[in-house]
Amino acid sequence: MSIQTVKTTPFSDQKPGTSGLRKKVRVFQQPHYAENFVQSVFDSLEGFAGQTLVVGGDGRYLNREVIQIVLKMAAANGFDRVLVGQGGILSTPAASHLIRLNSAFGGLILSASHNPGGPDEDFGIKYNVGNGGPAPEKVTDAIHARTLTIDSYRILDAADVDIDSIGTRQLGDMVVEIVDPVAAYAELMEQLFDFSAIRAMIAGGFTLAFDSMSAVTGPYAVEVFEKRLGAPAGTVMNGTPLPDFGHHHPDPNLVHARELYDRMMAPEAPDFGAASDGDGDRNLIIGRHCYVTPSDSLAVLAANAHLAPGYRQGLKGIARSMPTSGAADRVAEKLGIPLYETPTGWKFFGNLLDAGMATICGEESAGTGSDHVREKDGVWAVLLWLNILAARRTSVVAIMADHWATYGRNYYARHDYEAIATNNADALMAALRDSLTSLPGATNSGGTITAADDFAYTDPTDQSVSRNQGVRVLFDDGSRVVFRLSGTGTEGATLRVYIERYVGTDGDLAMETSDALAPLVAAAQELADIAGYTGMDRPSVIT
């Protein structure tokens, strides 16, 4: 086995987005493409010689091939040991946990999260640092800079490693350990939650359905919900990870998790339904006849977390991304703890969690998590809900009604306009930004505008500043419309419009969300001329 130095030339399109580098599989299949990016990651890091790397992915098409490349390159670049999930499988939160548990230097997670998989679909590589979380911007910026100058990469000339049987094997001077992808993660969940109370609730007739969407959470969900908590076989739907996710779009929202939604709205619905995404970090929560928005879910989890053993001491703070609704803010206020508003993307939560400033974090995009790892965590969110239901002995509908009666309700929706020509999307955002100073005081269908800005964030732990994180328009009744472009898409641009209206405890808490938000939807059109710039008269997806 010899180390080869392979000459290469840069690719101009390897800038990591909201969550790592995501491209079409065919882009990743170009000669040297994956290798260039992996070498650029290694070249941007210092001090990993003799250290451990964690590698795994969500099982999507190309996962196994890229794992072999990573292993041979890690060996050629001087890592001492690589931990790989059996079969190349690791959910994103499980990878984060393994990094922390083993004091690894970092990890490479192979996933395009909720994007579809298959030969014509998406693939991705994300680097996570030693705290288990996504690399912060200064690291991803360094990686990107390196991709633009790279002229060679190092790779071991060796046969493929058997990643399907658990055990330790040698690759050059490096040790490869194939580990059970689920065991350590399931142990962590048992430490955080009252499994015996949940088990008793299920034994007493409580029913649930968990849709793994043919993605990575299948083995995790079967182990936790069926084996450890005693839910009957079949509780986990679509539980086998498939390279193309069985042609599902593994995004747990009301459009792509329709099968689960319909089941939860049927007369004989289970008590509780949930779904996760491609790599297991997102969650969708639907009670019997009751959809819970991710923003509300964050607020409910924060308000009730003390009912779970792992959070009995209370929360240090709550963090949410800027476009996420303000429902959690009211909980933080009542608990007397700080609320942090960060840009979109989990990487911004890491510093707050490391500093012990926040315990629970969440995003409107179905991401919720805590300081147990440094990623959002779908199965964790479901377990916290189950723990709360077991402790309060009531239904999801009743919990939501009680929550709104206590805090008021943040009606909320996100409208996505997908596959817009990039220049049109950029022009729309530029026009919006140009209009910002003239907006305060103006009136439109949403009411009178009190403030408008382009969100900028100063990280309170290291004072780093992130600008241009989304245009916010605030109205005098506390309503809000936010516009930003997606940083995870692989085709054209996606415009996300986030719409929120707060109704206090004395207001109408039982409206249809679309009715409650209709004036603000009209205001969004007036502010950004979405139809004019996109040629679309309605969003591609409403969540």
Residues that bind Zn ion (CB under 5 A): 113, 277, 279, 281-282
CA–CA distance from 332 to each of 12, 305, 360, 448 (Å)?
Answer: 44, 12, 11, 27
Collapsed DSSP state (helix, strand, coil) of residue 422: helix
Q: How far is the CB of 289 from Zn ion (least distance, A)?
A: 27
- Residue type for 419, please? A
| Closest to Zn ion by CB, 19 or 44 | 19
Collapsed DSSP state (helix, strand, coil) of residue 47: coil
Distance, in Å, from the CA atom of 405 to the CA atom of 150, rounded to the nearest integer, reads 58
For the chain, the residue count is: 543
Provide the token pair at 178: 């194939």
Binding ligand G1P (rule: CB under 6 A), the pick from 77, 128, 238, 488 is: 488
450 part of the interface to ligand G1P, by CB under 6 A: no
| Closest to Zn ion by CB, 250 or 317 | 250
Query: For helices 513-528 and 422-435, what crossing angle results, to 10°?
Result: 90
Distance, in Å, from the CA atom of 56 to the CA atom of 75, rounded to the nearest integer, reads 16
Q: How far is the CB of 365 from ligand G1P (least distance, A)?
A: 4
Q: How far is the CB of 320 from ligand G1P (least distance, A)?
A: 10
Distance, in Å, from the CA atom of 187 to the CA atom of 168, rounded to the nearest integer, reads 22
Is residue 113 annotated as part of the catalytic site, yes or no? yes
Distance, in Å, from the CA atom of 71 to the CA atom of 76, rounded to the nearest integer, reads 9
Q: How far is the CB of 376 from ligand G1P (least distance, A)?
A: 7
Radius of gyration of the chain from its Cα atoms, rounded to whole angstroms: 23
Q: How far is the CB of 366 from Zn ion (least distance, A)?
A: 9
Stretch that binds ligand G1P, among 43-51, 342-350, 354-362, 464-472 (CB under 6 A): 342-350
The binder of 217, among Zn ion, ligand G1P, none, by C-beta within 5 to 8 A per type, is none
Stretch that binds ligand G1P, among 173-181, 293-301, 362-370, 468-476 (CB under 6 A): 362-370
344 part of the interface to ligand G1P, by CB under 6 A: yes
- Assign 3-class secondary structure to 430-489: HHHHHHHHHCCCCEECCEEEEEEEECCEECCCCCCEECCCCEEEEECCCCEEEEEECCCC
* Dmax (CA) of the chain: 73
The binder of 279, among ligand G1P, Zn ion, none, by C-beta within 5 to 8 A per type, is Zn ion
Q: Is 49 exposed, middle or buried (0-12, 13-18, 19+ CB in 10 A)?
A: exposed
283 part of the interface to ligand G1P, by CB under 6 A: no
| Closest to ligand G1P by CB, 52 or 111 | 111
Residue whose token pair is 């979405």: 530
The binder of 276, among Zn ion, ligand G1P, none, by C-beta within 5 to 8 A per type, is none
486 part of the interface to ligand G1P, by CB under 6 A: yes
Phi and psi dihedrals of 198, rounded to 5? -70, -40
363 part of the interface to ligand G1P, by CB under 6 A: yes
Provide the token pair at 361: 């974090």
Residues 5-24, one symbol each (x = binds ligand G1P by CB under 6 A, - = not), give -------------xx-----
| Closest to Zn ion by CB, 55 or 331 | 55
The catalytically annotated residue of 44, 96, 113, 486 is 113
Q: How far is the CB of 384 from Zn ion (least distance, A)?
A: 18
- H-helix or E-strand spanning residue 369: strand 367-370
Distance, in Å, from the CA atom of 92 to the CA atom of 280, rounded to the nearest integer, reads 6
Strands 81-89 and 174-179: what pairing?
parallel
Binding ligand G1P (rule: CB under 6 A), the pick from 123, 272, 346, 412 is: 346
Tell me, what DSSP letter sits at residue 161?
A: P
Binding ligand G1P (rule: CB under 6 A), the pick from 496, 500, 527, 528 is: 496
- Assign 3-class secondary structure to 304-352: HHHHCHHHCCCCCCEEEECCCCCHHHHHHHHHCCCEEEECCCHHHCHHH
Long-range contacts made by residues 159-162, C-beta under 8 angstroms, separation at least 24? 160/68, 161/68, 161/71
| Closest to Zn ion by CB, 56 or 408 | 56
Stretch that binds ligand G1P, among 81-89, 97-105, 214-222, 344-352 (CB under 6 A): 344-352
| Closest to Zn ion by CB, 77 or 342 | 342
| Closest to ligand G1P by CB, 286 or 497 | 497
297 part of the interface to ligand G1P, by CB under 6 A: no
500 part of the interface to ligand G1P, by CB under 6 A: no
Distance, in Å, from the CA atom of 310 to the CA atom of 193, rounded to the nearest integer, reads 6
Binding ligand G1P (rule: CB under 6 A), the pick from 14, 365, 370, 479 is: 365
The binder of 18, among ligand G1P, Zn ion, none, by C-beta within 5 to 8 A per type, is ligand G1P
Q: How far is the CB of 369 from ligand G1P (least distance, A)?
A: 11
The binder of 96, among Zn ion, ligand G1P, none, by C-beta within 5 to 8 A per type, is none
| Closest to Zn ion by CB, 20 or 446 | 20
Angle, alpha carbons 532-535-539 (nearest 5°): 105
Q: How far is the CB of 18 from ligand G1P (least distance, A)?
A: 3
444 part of the interface to ligand G1P, by CB under 6 A: no
| Closest to ligand G1P by CB, 270 or 350 | 350
Distance, in Å, from the CA atom of 200 to the CA atom of 207, rounded to the nearest integer, reads 12
Q: How far is the CB of 316 from Zn ion (least distance, A)?
A: 25
- 281 contacts 92 by C-beta, under 8 angstroms: yes
- 55 contacts 69 by C-beta, under 8 angstroms: no
**Contacts with ligand G1P, residue ranges (CB under 6 A):** 18-19, 113, 321, 344-346, 363, 365, 367, 486-488, 496
> Catalytic residue positions?
113
